[in-house]
Amino acid sequence: MPAPELLIDTDPGVDDALAILMAHASANVVALTIAAGNVGLAHTVGNALNLIDRVGAETPVFAGCSVPLVFPADDAGFVHGADGFGDTGGLPSRRTASAEHAAMAIVRLAKERPGELTLVALAPLTNIALALRLDHALPTRIKRLVVMGGAVNGRGNTHRAPAEFNIGFDPESAHIVFSEWPAFDLVDWEACMRHAIGFARFDDLLGSGDARARFYTAISRKAHAFSLSHERSGMILADALAMAVALDPAIVTRSERHHVAIEMSGHLTRGATVVDWDNRLGQRANANIVLDVDRHRFEELVACALGAREAPPSR
Ligand code: BDR
Ligand code: CA
């Protein structure tokens, strides 16, 4: 299978960074469009430019929305560091973001390359919702959408227990995308927890000696400590898992198609992803919910991004 052409909407962020390294190791990355989320937009854009420096690519970076569509939301700097990269205070890139807004860039690129692009959504869905408002036909122009977001059984990772961060940060945008995009792959937080990579194994991969691994060791130190202090079973690499699904659809070993809606108003449940597991409402299934992936293949793709092995054979 030829390597996919990727358009990545992202808010780097430690796990976004790994996903972006993975993408550049095994696919053609057409652009990064950047949202606020894990930290503010100035940092997420700066981090994206910094990553492009690291991989030595010419991938264009487009800055997008600095706030959610309707209500303000708290970022996740307590996990990713106030700068989004573990408070490493890296040198600013000499590159700059393109002048075009991220939402406009998504619309334009999809029109220029109809049916070719895989859109990988690793951030709150603000830019993509706005792009959908600018172009209702966007889903017909995109080959495939993979979304990292949600908690399909209500075990989220935010202060509203059932909400996962990307959806909880901007539920209105998530609602627009989930209700208007006819079919997408959903990699939710609970799948990411099930596919955590053990700390010892991840340390092995980071020990490759490659410059990308040294960089990733530095930026992930704070997230690593957070994971240990929260008694996680290993490193939960949410965006990296979604990227693996985008790079290699055959990695999915179990999935189910269901209708998923977004709760926007619940005092305790705002941002929850509500799955109609038994099709009680008779609504069209919009989400292909990824339940299991081939762990070995996932680790191979991560290892390759960190220089711990050669590019895995494509299949
Ligand atoms: C998602 O939220 C962000 O903190 C991560 O980068 C990931 O996209 C996980 O809930
Ligand atoms: Ca992210």
Number of domains in the chain: 1
| Residue 68 in domain | yes
Asked whether the predicted pLDDT for residue 312 surpasses 80, the reply is no
3-state class (DSSP) for residue 220 = helix
Ligand 1 neighbour 15 (Cβ under 6 A): yes
In this structure, what CATH number is given to the domain that contains residue 49? 3.90.245.10
Whole-number Å distance between alpha carbons of 37 and 148: 13
| Residue 163 in domain | yes
Band (pLDDT 50/70/90 cuts) for residue 19 is very high
pLDDT value for 92: 85
39-63 pLDDT, tens digit each: 999 999 999 999 999 999 999 999 9
Of 10, 14, 32, 148, the one to substitute when testing ligand 1's pocket (max ligand atoms within 8 A of C-beta) is: 148
Pairing outcome for strands 260-262 and 273-275: antiparallel
Give me ligand 1 centre to Cα 282, in Å.
Answer: 31
| Residue 312 in domain | no
Give me ligand 1 centre to Cα 291, in Å.
Answer: 18
Give me ligand 2 centre to Cα 1, in Å.
Answer: 27
Residue (of 260, 289, 253, 244) closest to 118 by Cα position: 244
| Residue 313 in domain | no
| Residue 310 in domain | no
Tally of residues, the chain: 315
Give me ligand 2 centre to Cα 103, in Å.
Answer: 17
| Residue 268 in domain | yes
| Residue 216 in domain | yes
| Residue 85 in domain | yes
Ligand 1 neighbour 148 (Cβ under 6 A): yes
**Plot region of 268 (φ>0 → left; ψ -120 to 50 → alpha; else → beta):** alpha
For residue 235, give its domain range: 5-305
pLDDT value for 315: 62
Give me ligand 2 centre to Cα 63, in Å.
Answer: 15
Q: What number of H helices and E strands is found in the chain?
A: 13, 10
Band (pLDDT 50/70/90 cuts) for residue 314 is low
Mean pLDDT value across the chain: 95
Of 8, 9, 11, the one to substitute when testing ligand 1's pocket (max ligand atoms within 8 A of C-beta) is: 11
134-152 pLDDT, tens digit each: 999 999 999 999 999 999 9
pLDDT value for 79: 86
Ligand 1 nearest-atom number relative to CA 76: 4
Asked whether the predicted pLDDT for residue 91 surpasses 80, the reply is no
**Which phi and psi angles does 288 have, rounded to 5°?**
-95, 105
User: Strand runs (DSSP E) across 56-167, as ranges?
Assistant: 61-63, 117-121, 144-148
60-73 pLDDT, tens digit each: 999 999 999 999 99
Asked whether the predicted pLDDT for residue 256 surpasses 70, the reply is yes
Ligand 1 neighbour 165 (Cβ under 6 A): yes
